[in-house]
Amino acid sequence: MTDVPSPPTAPDAPTAPGVPDAPGLPHAPSVLDATSTPSVAVVELLAEGELTVRGQVREASNAVLFCSVALGGEETACVYKPVAGERPLWDFPDGTLAQREVAAYEVSEATGWGLVPPTVLRDGPYGEGMVQLWIEADPGASLLALTEAEEAEEGWKAVGPAQVGEDRTALLVHADSPDLRRLAVLDAVINNGDRKGGHLLPAPDGRLYAIDHGVTFNVDDKLRTLLWGWAGEELPAEATAVLDRLDVSLASGTPLATRLAELLTVAEVDALRGRVAALRASGRHPEPSGQWPAIPWPPV
C-alpha cells in the first residue's frame, strides 16, 4: 500500500500517510461475527453511505481506492474500484469489471456460502464503481505453500511444480479445506480467469473470503486458478445440492436472474446457466482445458 496517486482518467485523489492504517480510519467489522453489523445493514451502508478516499493500493492493475464509508452513525472501511480506473482488456468489454465484481457477490450469496464480501455498484468520488467491504486477513493463516516433497502431505492438495530457482523446482500445494473447495466450485461457476493466492483472505475466525472478481463470467472458458487440487474429483454432496438450488435460482424471471441481467449480457447469463448445468451433469470438479493457461500470472 502507498500514498494515493491519481486514479487512471480520474482527478487527483487525496493522499494518506498510511494505508490501511490511516489516522482515524475505523476497523472493518467482520460480517461473520455474531456481534457485528448484519450483512443486509452492511450492504445498505456500502450503497448509501458517504465515501471518503483514504488511500490507494498502488500494486493493483486497476484503480483500487481504500475508503471509509459512513451512514447514520455507522462507519466502516471498504474498497472502491471506479469504472474510470479500469484498464481495457482485449477479452472483456470496456467498463464492465465493476459489474462483474457485483455479479460474483450475487452468485456467491445465492450459493449460501458467503465467500465474497458484501459488494455493491454505486456512484462515488470518481464516478460509478464497485464498493466492497474491507476484510482484514489473518496474517498467520496459511493456504498456499511450496514443498520439496514429491506429493502433497495430509491436509494439502497438489497444484503442480513451481520454478523456485534456475535449476530448482518445488511442489505448489494449497490447503485441503472445505471453504477452499467451495471456492473452487464457485470459481468454476462464475468462470474466474484470475484466482490468485493474494485474492484469498482467511479471516481471523477461520472463515474464508475471496476478492477480485473483475475477470469473470466470460462466455468463453477462462478458468485460471491456483485451486486445481480437486481437479477431476467427484463433487461433494454439499456442492451438488448447491448447484441444484443455483440452477433453480438462475431460471428466467427469478430475482437472481433479473439482477444478473442488469450486470451482465444475455449471452453471459446464458453461459453461466450452461456452466451450472455442465457441473451438475459431470458431478466432478473441472480439469484444465488445455486451451487456456491454467495458472494465473503472477500466481500470487
129-170 pLDDT tens trace: 999 999 988 888 889 988 888 889 999 999 988 776 677 788
- If one compares 177 and 29, the residue with the highest pLDDT of the two is 177
- If one compares 298 and 124, the residue with the highest pLDDT of the two is 124
Q: What is the pLDDT of residue 49?
A: 96
Pairing of strands 50-56, 74-82: unpaired
Give pLDDT tens digits for 52-89.
999 988 877 889 999 999 998 899 999 999 999 999 88
Q: Assess contact for 230 and 157: CB atoms under 8 A.
A: yes
Residue 39, phi-psi category: left (phi > 0), alpha (psi -120 to 50), beta (remainder) = alpha
Q: What is the pLDDT of residue 33?
A: 36
The pLDDT of 31-36, averaged and rounded, is: 37
Q: What is the pLDDT of residue 270?
A: 98
Average predicted confidence (pLDDT) for the chain: 86
Residue 255: cis peptide before it, omega within 30 degrees of 0: no
Separation of alpha carbons 195 and 200, rounded Å: 8
Residue 211's nearest CA partner among 139, 121, 117, 122 is: 117
Separation of alpha carbons 71 and 276, rounded Å: 38
Rounded to a whole number of angstroms, the distance between the first and last alpha carbons of the chain is 16
Grid cell 465484481 in the structure block, residue:
101
Model confidence at 31, pLDDT cuts 50, 70, 90, reads very low
66-69 long-range contacts, CB within 8 A, separation 24+: 66/1, 66/16, 66/19, 66/20, 66/22, 66/134, 67/124, 67/131, 68/25, 68/26, 69/45, 69/131
| DSSP classification of residue 284 | B
Q: What is the pLDDT of residue 8?
A: 44
List b or e across 102-122, with b for residues whose CB sees 16 or more CB atoms inside 10 angstroms: bbbbbbbbbbebbbbbbbbbb
Most confident of 23-32, 147-156, 273-282, 285-294: 273-282
Those residues with Cβ within 8 angstroms of residue 191's Cβ, 6 or more apart along the chain or in another chain: 216, 217, 218, 221, 222, 223, 271, 272, 275
Give pLDDT tens digits for 181-216.
999 999 999 999 999 998 999 988 888 999 999 999
The pLDDT of 108-118, averaged and rounded, is: 96
Q: Name which of 23-32, 122-131, 143-152, 266-275 the model is least confident about.
A: 23-32
Model confidence at 27, pLDDT cuts 50, 70, 90, reads very low
The pLDDT of 95-106, averaged and rounded, is: 97
Query: By CB neighbour count within 10 A (0-12 exposed, 13-18 middle, 19+ buried), where does 299 fall?
Result: middle
Rounded to 10 deg, the angle between the 178-190 and 266-282 helix axes is 130
Q: Assess contact for 174 and 157: CB atoms under 8 A.
A: yes
pTM of the full structure: 0.87
Q: What is the pLDDT of residue 39?
A: 64
Separation of alpha carbons 263 and 232, rounded Å: 31
Q: What are phi and psi of 123, to 5 degrees?
A: -80, 150
CA–chain centroid gap for 127, Å, is 22
Q: What is the pLDDT of residue 24?
A: 39
Q: What is the pLDDT of residue 25?
A: 39
